[in-house]
Chain A
Amino acid sequence: MIKIVFFAALREQLNCAEMSLPADDVQTVDDIKQLLSNKSEQWQQTFSHASLLSAVNHDMVKGNHLINAGDEVAFFPPVTGG
Protein backbone atom coordinates (compact mmCIF):
# COMPACT_ATOMS: atom_id res chain seq x y z
CA MET A 1 0.00 0.00 0.00
CA ILE A 2 0.91 3.66 -0.36
CA LYS A 3 0.12 6.16 2.39
CA ILE A 4 -1.11 9.51 1.15
CA VAL A 5 -1.26 12.61 3.36
CA PHE A 6 -2.65 16.10 2.77
CA PHE A 7 -1.85 19.36 4.53
CA ALA A 8 -3.17 22.86 5.18
CA ALA A 9 -5.69 24.30 2.69
CA LEU A 10 -5.57 21.09 0.66
CA ARG A 11 -6.58 18.96 3.64
CA GLU A 12 -9.47 21.29 4.37
CA GLN A 13 -10.69 21.43 0.76
CA LEU A 14 -10.66 17.64 0.49
CA ASN A 15 -11.83 17.15 4.06
CA CYS A 16 -9.22 14.39 4.23
CA ALA A 17 -5.94 14.23 6.14
CA GLU A 18 -4.80 10.76 5.20
CA MET A 19 -5.71 7.82 2.96
CA SER A 20 -4.10 4.81 1.35
CA LEU A 21 -3.98 3.33 -2.14
CA PRO A 22 -2.95 -0.10 -3.43
CA ALA A 23 0.61 0.25 -4.77
CA ASP A 24 -0.27 -1.70 -7.92
CA ASP A 25 -2.69 1.00 -9.09
CA VAL A 26 -0.04 3.68 -9.68
CA GLN A 27 3.51 4.11 -10.97
CA THR A 28 4.21 7.81 -10.52
CA VAL A 29 3.11 10.80 -8.45
CA ASP A 30 1.20 12.07 -11.50
CA ASP A 31 -0.68 8.74 -11.64
CA ILE A 32 -1.84 9.32 -8.06
CA LYS A 33 -2.98 12.84 -8.90
CA GLN A 34 -4.89 11.53 -11.90
CA LEU A 35 -6.51 8.77 -9.89
CA LEU A 36 -7.54 11.12 -7.09
CA SER A 37 -8.83 13.73 -9.55
CA ASN A 38 -11.39 11.19 -10.71
CA LYS A 39 -12.94 10.94 -7.24
CA SER A 40 -15.16 14.01 -7.55
CA GLU A 41 -15.37 17.52 -8.91
CA GLN A 42 -13.87 18.88 -5.67
CA TRP A 43 -10.86 16.56 -5.92
CA GLN A 44 -10.50 17.33 -9.60
CA GLN A 45 -10.48 21.06 -8.87
CA THR A 46 -7.99 20.74 -6.02
CA PHE A 47 -5.54 18.68 -8.06
CA SER A 48 -5.73 20.98 -11.07
CA HIS A 49 -3.81 23.72 -9.22
CA ALA A 50 -0.42 24.17 -10.86
CA SER A 51 1.15 25.34 -7.60
CA LEU A 52 0.38 22.06 -5.78
CA LEU A 53 3.54 20.52 -4.29
CA SER A 54 4.29 16.86 -3.71
CA ALA A 55 6.74 14.98 -1.51
CA VAL A 56 7.66 11.31 -1.31
CA ASN A 57 9.15 10.03 1.94
CA HIS A 58 9.68 13.63 3.12
CA ASP A 59 11.54 14.83 0.01
CA MET A 60 10.04 17.26 -2.49
CA VAL A 61 9.57 15.48 -5.87
CA LYS A 62 8.29 16.12 -9.39
CA GLY A 63 5.28 14.46 -10.99
CA ASN A 64 7.30 11.80 -12.81
CA HIS A 65 8.78 10.46 -9.54
CA LEU A 66 8.34 6.67 -9.31
CA ILE A 67 6.32 5.26 -6.42
CA ASN A 68 7.08 2.09 -4.48
CA ALA A 69 4.96 0.11 -2.06
CA GLY A 70 5.30 1.51 1.47
CA ASP A 71 6.04 5.05 0.30
CA GLU A 72 4.49 8.05 2.05
CA VAL A 73 3.26 10.54 -0.53
CA ALA A 74 2.23 14.05 0.53
CA PHE A 75 0.36 16.77 -1.31
CA PHE A 76 0.26 20.36 -0.08
CA PRO A 77 0.08 24.01 -1.14
CA PRO A 78 3.21 26.21 -1.41
CA VAL A 79 4.73 26.66 2.04
CA THR A 80 4.29 29.83 4.10
CA GLY A 81 6.36 29.40 7.27
CA GLY A 82 8.95 31.65 8.84
Chain B
Amino acid sequence: MPVTKSPFSLRLLAVDMSKVMTSDTTPIKATSTEKVDQEISIQREDFSLAEEVALLEKDNLTDGAVVTFTGRVRNNNNGNSVTSLTLEHYPGMTEKSLANIISQAKERWQLGKIKVIHRIGELAIGEQIVFVGVTSKHRHDAFAANEFIMDYLKVDAPFWKKEKITKAGSVSESWLAAKSSDTNKAKCWS
Protein backbone atom coordinates (compact mmCIF):
# COMPACT_ATOMS: atom_id res chain seq x y z
CA MET B 1 0.00 0.00 0.00
CA PRO B 2 1.45 3.41 -0.92
CA VAL B 3 2.31 5.58 2.04
CA THR B 4 0.33 8.78 1.90
CA LYS B 5 0.58 11.66 4.29
CA SER B 6 -2.61 12.11 6.28
CA PRO B 7 -3.83 15.60 7.20
CA PHE B 8 -2.86 14.64 10.75
CA SER B 9 0.82 14.24 9.96
CA LEU B 10 0.78 17.43 7.93
CA ARG B 11 -0.68 19.25 10.88
CA LEU B 12 2.05 17.91 13.14
CA LEU B 13 4.72 18.91 10.65
CA ALA B 14 3.38 22.43 10.83
CA VAL B 15 3.95 22.62 14.60
CA ASP B 16 6.19 25.52 15.49
CA MET B 17 9.08 23.76 17.23
CA SER B 18 10.10 26.94 19.02
CA LYS B 19 6.95 26.44 21.08
CA VAL B 20 7.82 22.87 21.99
CA MET B 21 10.76 23.79 24.18
CA THR B 22 9.46 26.37 26.58
CA SER B 23 9.96 27.28 30.21
CA ASP B 24 8.88 23.87 31.53
CA THR B 25 11.68 22.09 33.36
CA THR B 26 10.99 18.87 31.52
CA PRO B 27 11.07 19.69 27.80
CA ILE B 28 9.74 17.00 25.52
CA LYS B 29 11.79 15.74 22.63
CA ALA B 30 10.90 17.26 19.30
CA THR B 31 9.59 14.07 17.74
CA SER B 32 6.00 15.08 17.04
CA THR B 33 6.17 14.02 13.39
CA GLU B 34 6.88 10.40 14.39
CA LYS B 35 3.85 10.10 16.63
CA VAL B 36 1.21 9.46 13.99
CA ASP B 37 0.90 5.72 14.46
CA GLN B 38 1.97 5.46 18.07
CA GLU B 39 -0.42 4.53 20.82
CA ILE B 40 0.99 7.08 23.28
CA SER B 41 1.64 10.76 22.81
CA ILE B 42 2.82 13.22 25.46
CA GLN B 43 2.57 16.63 23.87
CA ARG B 44 2.23 20.35 24.45
CA GLU B 45 0.04 21.00 21.45
CA ASP B 46 -3.72 20.48 21.41
CA PHE B 47 -5.36 17.53 19.66
CA SER B 48 -8.45 17.21 17.49
CA LEU B 49 -11.09 14.73 18.59
CA ALA B 50 -12.29 14.34 14.99
CA GLU B 51 -8.78 13.60 13.72
CA GLU B 52 -8.15 11.08 16.49
CA VAL B 53 -11.41 9.27 15.78
CA ALA B 54 -10.58 9.24 12.06
CA LEU B 55 -7.21 7.63 12.87
CA LEU B 56 -8.84 5.00 15.08
CA GLU B 57 -11.28 4.16 12.27
CA LYS B 58 -8.70 4.27 9.46
CA ASP B 59 -7.97 0.84 7.92
CA ASN B 60 -10.19 -0.63 10.63
CA LEU B 61 -13.35 -2.23 9.27
CA THR B 62 -13.48 -5.05 11.82
CA ASP B 63 -14.31 -2.94 14.86
CA GLY B 64 -17.87 -1.74 15.34
CA ALA B 65 -17.21 0.16 18.57
CA VAL B 66 -15.20 3.35 19.05
CA VAL B 67 -15.18 4.78 22.58
CA THR B 68 -13.38 8.03 23.34
CA PHE B 69 -12.84 10.03 26.50
CA THR B 70 -11.63 13.62 26.62
CA GLY B 71 -10.61 15.33 29.86
CA ARG B 72 -10.73 19.13 30.05
CA VAL B 73 -9.57 21.85 32.45
CA ARG B 74 -12.42 22.82 34.81
CA ASN B 75 -12.90 26.38 36.02
CA ASN B 76 -13.39 25.23 39.62
CA ASN B 77 -11.88 22.87 42.15
CA ASN B 78 -12.72 22.41 45.85
CA GLY B 79 -14.80 25.58 45.75
CA ASN B 80 -11.98 27.70 44.34
CA SER B 81 -12.02 29.52 41.05
CA VAL B 82 -9.30 28.01 38.83
CA THR B 83 -7.49 30.26 36.33
CA SER B 84 -5.20 27.69 34.67
CA LEU B 85 -3.38 24.39 35.16
CA THR B 86 0.25 23.48 34.62
CA LEU B 87 1.07 19.84 33.98
CA GLU B 88 4.44 18.34 34.76
CA HIS B 89 5.51 14.78 33.99
CA TYR B 90 8.44 12.39 34.33
CA PRO B 91 9.71 11.87 30.75
CA GLY B 92 10.46 8.22 30.07
CA MET B 93 8.55 6.83 33.03
CA THR B 94 5.30 8.36 31.78
CA GLU B 95 5.53 6.50 28.47
CA LYS B 96 6.56 3.25 30.18
CA SER B 97 3.71 3.49 32.66
CA LEU B 98 1.09 4.18 29.97
CA ALA B 99 2.45 1.36 27.78
CA ASN B 100 2.08 -0.98 30.74
CA ILE B 101 -1.53 0.11 31.34
CA ILE B 102 -2.35 -0.35 27.65
CA SER B 103 -0.85 -3.83 27.57
CA GLN B 104 -2.88 -4.81 30.65
CA ALA B 105 -6.04 -3.57 28.93
CA LYS B 106 -5.18 -5.66 25.86
CA GLU B 107 -4.84 -8.73 28.05
CA ARG B 108 -8.25 -8.22 29.64
CA TRP B 109 -10.35 -7.29 26.62
CA GLN B 110 -10.42 -7.91 22.90
CA LEU B 111 -9.31 -4.57 21.52
CA GLY B 112 -8.47 -3.12 18.15
CA LYS B 113 -6.72 0.26 18.18
CA ILE B 114 -5.81 2.30 21.24
CA LYS B 115 -4.64 5.90 21.53
CA VAL B 116 -3.68 7.82 24.67
CA ILE B 117 -2.75 11.50 24.47
CA HIS B 118 -1.77 13.55 27.51
CA ARG B 119 -0.84 17.20 27.30
CA ILE B 120 1.81 18.94 29.40
CA GLY B 121 2.66 22.57 30.12
CA GLU B 122 0.27 25.38 30.97
CA LEU B 123 -3.37 24.85 29.98
CA ALA B 124 -6.19 27.39 30.15
CA ILE B 125 -9.77 26.76 31.31
CA GLY B 126 -11.70 24.60 28.89
CA GLU B 127 -8.60 23.26 27.14
CA GLN B 128 -8.28 19.54 26.50
CA ILE B 129 -5.87 17.68 28.82
CA VAL B 130 -6.21 14.02 28.03
CA PHE B 131 -7.62 11.72 25.36
CA VAL B 132 -8.22 7.98 25.50
CA GLY B 133 -9.60 6.25 22.42
CA VAL B 134 -10.30 2.53 22.14
CA THR B 135 -11.84 0.44 19.37
CA SER B 136 -13.26 -3.05 19.63
CA LYS B 137 -15.62 -5.37 17.78
CA HIS B 138 -18.37 -4.67 20.34
CA ARG B 139 -19.10 -1.85 22.75
CA HIS B 140 -18.63 -3.66 26.05
CA ASP B 141 -14.88 -4.20 25.62
CA ALA B 142 -14.34 -0.67 24.30
CA PHE B 143 -16.26 0.99 27.16
CA ALA B 144 -14.59 -1.11 29.85
CA ALA B 145 -11.05 -0.76 28.46
CA ASN B 146 -11.41 3.00 28.07
CA GLU B 147 -12.47 3.42 31.69
CA PHE B 148 -9.77 1.01 32.88
CA ILE B 149 -7.05 2.99 31.07
CA MET B 150 -8.29 6.31 32.52
CA ASP B 151 -8.60 4.88 36.03
CA TYR B 152 -5.03 3.56 36.00
CA LEU B 153 -3.64 6.66 34.28
CA LYS B 154 -5.01 8.64 37.24
CA VAL B 155 -3.09 6.63 39.84
CA ASP B 156 -0.03 5.23 38.03
CA ALA B 157 1.16 7.61 35.32
CA PRO B 158 3.63 10.22 36.66
CA PHE B 159 1.83 13.48 35.86
CA TRP B 160 1.31 16.29 38.36
CA LYS B 161 -1.10 19.21 38.16
CA LYS B 162 -0.42 22.61 39.61
CA GLU B 163 -3.39 24.95 39.64
CA LYS B 164 -3.54 28.71 39.58
CA ILE B 165 -6.45 29.82 41.73
CA THR B 166 -8.05 33.16 42.37
CA LYS B 167 -9.27 33.79 45.90
CA ALA B 168 -10.59 37.15 47.00
CA GLY B 169 -8.91 38.79 44.03
CA SER B 170 -5.42 37.38 44.66
CA VAL B 171 -3.85 34.67 42.51
CA SER B 172 -1.90 31.78 44.02
CA GLU B 173 -0.46 28.49 42.77
CA SER B 174 -0.66 25.12 44.44
CA TRP B 175 -0.04 21.46 43.59
CA LEU B 176 -3.14 19.32 43.53
CA ALA B 177 -3.46 16.63 46.19
CA ALA B 178 -4.12 13.08 45.02
CA LYS B 179 -7.67 11.86 45.68
CA SER B 180 -8.26 8.62 47.57
CA SER B 181 -11.41 8.15 45.46
CA ASP B 182 -9.15 7.74 42.40
CA THR B 183 -7.05 5.10 44.16
CA ASN B 184 -10.18 3.24 45.25
CA LYS B 185 -11.63 3.40 41.75
CA ALA B 186 -8.51 1.81 40.24
CA LYS B 187 -8.52 -0.90 42.91
CA CYS B 188 -11.97 -1.98 41.75
CA TRP B 189 -10.39 -3.49 38.63
CA SER B 190 -8.06 -5.84 40.51
* Interface residues of A, Cβ cutoff 8 Å to B: 5, 7-9, 11-12, 17, 51, 55, 58-60, 74, 76-82
Interface stretch, picked from B3-11, B51-59, B149-157, is: B149-157
**Which B residues are CB-close (under 8 A) to A11?**
25
Q: How far is the CA of A76 from the CA of B178 in the complex (A)?
A: 12
Known: A7-B88, A55-B93, A58-B92. A82 touches B159 (CB 8 A): yes
Known: A76-B90, A81-B118, A82-B71. A55 touches B158 (CB 8 A): yes
Q: How far is the CA of A59 from the CA of B92 in the complex (A)?
A: 10
Known: A59-B96, A82-B71. A74 touches B90 (CB 8 A): yes
The A-B contact count (CB < 8 A) is 74
A79 pairs with B156, CB closer than 8 A: yes
Shortest Cβ distance from residue B40 to the other chain A in the assembled complex, whole angstroms:
13
Number of residues from B at the complex interface, CB < 8 A: 28
7 shortest A-B CB distances, which residue pairs? A81-B159, A78-B178, A8-B160, A58-B93, A9-B175, A80-B176, A82-B154
Q: How far is the CA of A81 from the CA of B179 in the complex (A)?
A: 11
B93 pairs with A82, CB closer than 8 A: no
Shortest Cβ distance from residue A58 to the other chain B in the assembled complex, whole angstroms:
4
Closest residue of chain B to A8 (Cβ to Cβ) is B160
* Interface residues of B, Cβ cutoff 8 Å to A: 25, 71, 87-90, 92-93, 96-97, 118, 129-130, 150, 153-162, 175-178
**Which B residues are CB-close (under 8 A) to A59?**
93, 96
Shortest Cβ distance from residue B121 to the other chain A in the assembled complex, whole angstroms:
13
Q: How far is the CA of A78 from the CA of B90 in the complex (A)?
A: 13
B158 pairs with A7, CB closer than 8 A: yes
Known: A8-B88, A8-B162, A9-B160. A82 touches B96 (CB 8 A): no
A79 pairs with B96, CB closer than 8 A: no
A-B pairs with beta carbons under 8 Å apart, 8 shown: A17-B25, A60-B156, A76-B160, A79-B154, A80-B161, A82-B129, A82-B153, A82-B154
